[in-house]
Amino acid sequence: MRAILERLVAFDTVSSEPNMALILYVKALLEGAGIAVTLVPEAGGGKANLYASTGPAGAGVMLSGHTDVVPVTGQAWTRPPFALTEAEERLYGRGTADMKGFVACAVAAMLEASRRPLRVPLHLALSYDEEIGCMGVRSLIDLLEAAPVRPRFCIVGEPTGMQVATGHKGKVALRATCVGREGHSALAPMALNALHLAADFVNGVRGLQADVAEMGLRDGDYDVPYTTLHVGKLNGGVQVNIVPNHAVIDFEIRSLAGEDVAGLIARLEGLAEAIIAPLRGEFPEAAIRVERLWDYPGLGTATDAAVVNFVKGLTGANGTIKVAFGTEGGLFDQRLGVPTVICGPGSMAQGHKPDEFVTAEQLARCEAMLAALLERLEAGF
């Protein structure tokens, strides 16, 4: 497994870069063991999903992971990010926690499974562009939707400290484009500053967040027990002596199950109209346009579901958790109807940061879970 992880980390699969070299490496490993592999490439050909199956035909269990990682640019790494290094029982490198550690364990499990007399099949799904909105996996889901048999269960191996996670929030990414009127800064009151419009809108987003936090839905299983609104990016202006006529705000909503997300967006659109309406007489071009960029659904698997009890049996867990970050699990659950949990090695507290690492202990626990899985597949569940 460690040799596989070393190779995986060495591939620079930041979401802006191709992942095809990694995918072809895994494909060669699996096909060398006689495992059936299907690639689902993107239109440009530089990226691809991979789906593999071993054992008899049938539903079986699917292990799911993404191959892309977040950038290292601007981070103060003290170790090479795209080389696996080990110290004090920690394995360092970009993606070791999120989530090439699990992918390495899953590929090794597939290779071992190919040598075993399975009575129930094991499947592997590897995707691209998860880190930018779970975008790549959607074409793989299209493929599985058309298949005669879908997996019975899915384990998404995002880092949970090997705890069984049954839920995460859904997410919608949004953009507000603010249009004002340019002018010389010496005559600023005679122009309409798009950045000021943006500031008013951001203030409204913060006000809506306060309302939701105080009076909205709550789920105490999450670290933040309510739906969140977060402004992540604001662009506008050319130079200080020009009143800007254009500004763009990128923001998000991470929603609890049952949240009226459409209602929240409608409130934001109403906020935009309230800001612009008094200005239209003097500045008819004034606007704040809110658009949806992309989204993915939350995951809300019942704690007494068969998949939960099955995976708890593999890990020895007594309870379940919910995670703050999003995954592809909600898409597998909602689009395919495949019962899904999240369980993988490492912690997201080490992900997306310089000197990312996963511990040897966590990888060993993941290997033990997958070994137990193979025993169950041999026994016919």
Per the annotation, the verdict on 130 as an active-site residue is: yes
The catalytic position among 12, 98, 129, 130 is 130
* Strand positions, DSSP E, 82-219: 85-87, 90-92, 122-127, 153-156, 165-168, 170-179, 183-184
Bridge-partner residues for 53, per DSSP?
36, 123
- Residue 20 near residue 39, CB atoms below 8 Å: no
Per the annotation, the verdict on 200 as an active-site residue is: no
The catalytic position among 68, 98, 129, 328 is 68
Cα gap 311→283, rounded to integer Å: 60
Give the angle subtended at the CA of 340 by the CAs of 321 and 167, to the nearest 5°: 30
- Phi, then psi, of 195 in degrees rounded to 5: -70, -35
- Scanning the structure block, which residue is given the tokens 């005559």? 187
C-alpha torsion sign, points 359, 60, 28, 71: negative
Q: Is 330 exposed, middle or buried (0-12, 13-18, 19+ CB in 10 A)?
A: buried
Catalytic residue numbers read 68, 130
